[in-house]
Amino acid sequence: MSGALGTIELKRVVITGLGIISPVGTGKDVFLQALLAGRSGVRRIARFDTTEFPVKIGAEVRDFDALAFIDKKWAKRMDRYAQYGVAAATMALEDSGYPIGEDPFAVGALIGSGVGGLDTFMEQTGILLEKGPTRVSPFFIPMMIPNMASACSSILLGLKGPVNATCTACAAGTMALGDAFSLIRRGDATAMFAGGAEAAVNQVGMSAFAALRAISFRNDEPERASRPFDADRDGFVMGEGAGVLVLEEAQHALDRGAHIYAEVCGYGLTGDASHLTEPDETGEPAGLAMSRAIRDAGIDPSEVDYVNAHGTSTPLGDIMETQAIKRALGAHAAQVMVSSNKSIFGHCLGAAGALEAAATVLFMEVGRVAPTINLENPDPACDLDYVPNVARDAQVDVAVSNSFGFGGHNAAIVLRRWHG
Q: Each residue of 28-60: pLDDT tens digit?
A: 999 999 999 999 999 999 999 999 999 999 999
Looking at the predicted structure, is the pLDDT value of residue 277 above 90?
no
Task: Say if residue 120's pLDDT is above 60.
Answer: yes
Strand ranges (DSSP E) for 62-150? 107-112
Terminal-residue alpha carbon distance, the chain: 11
Instruction: Look over the chain and give the mean of its residue pLDDT values, rounded to a whole number.
Output: 96
Looking at residue 6, what is its pLDDT?
A: 53
Length of the chain equals 420
What pLDDT was estimated at residue 2?
Answer: 46
Which pLDDT tens digit goes with each residue over 254-274? 999 999 999 999 999 999 999
Mean pLDDT of 82-97: 98
- Do β-strands 107-112 and 191-198 pair in parallel, antiparallel, or remain unpaired? parallel
- Looking at residue 317, its amino acid is G
What confidence category does residue 4 fall into, taking pLDDT thresholds of 50, 70 and 90?
very low
Is residue 1 classed as helix, strand or coil in its secondary structure?
A: coil
pLDDT band at 1 (very low <50, low <70, confident <90, very high): very low
Buried/exposed 382-397: b ≥16 CB within 10 Å, e otherwise: bebbbbbeebbeeebe
- Please answer whether residues 120 and 140 qualify as being in contact, where contact means their C-beta atoms are separated by less than 8 angstroms: yes
Catalytic residues: 170, 310, 347
Q: In this model, does residue 319 exceed pLDDT 50?
A: yes
314 and 217 Cβ atoms separated by less than 8 Å: no
Contact between 354 and 21 under an 8 Å Cβ cutoff? The reply is: no
Can you tell me the distance from the alpha carbon of 170 to that of 347, in angstroms, rounded to the nearest whole number? 8
Cβ–Cβ under 8 Å, residues 408 and 376:
no
**φ/ψ of residue 149, rounded to 5:** -65, -40
pTM of whole model > 0.75? Answer: yes
How do residues 239-255 score in pLDDT, each as one tens digit? 999 999 999 999 999 99
Cα 301 to Cα 101, 294, 297, 385, 399: the distances in Å are 40, 7, 10, 16, 10
Residue 9 pLDDT grade (very low, low, confident, very high; cuts 50, 70, 90): confident
Determine phi and psi for 142, rounding to 5 degrees.
-65, -15
- Mean predicted confidence (pLDDT) in 76-85: 98
| Cα–Cα dist 79/199, whole Å | 9
DSSP code at position 330: G
Average pLDDT of the segment spanning 374-384: 97
Q: Where are the domains of the chain?
A: 4-255, 267-416
Query: Tell me, what's the pLDDT at 7?
Result: 66
The whole-angstrom separation of Cα 394 and Cα 301 is 18
Instruction: Let me know if the fold of 4-255 is the same as that of 267-416.
Output: yes
Please state which CATH class domain 267-416 belongs to: alpha beta
- Using only C-alpha atoms, what is the Rg of the chain? 20
> Going by CATH, does the domain composed of 4-255 fall within 3.40.47.10?
yes
Q: What is the DSSP string of 352-406?
A: HHHHHHHHHHHHHHHTEE--BTT--SB-TT--SB--BSS-EE---SEEEEEEEET
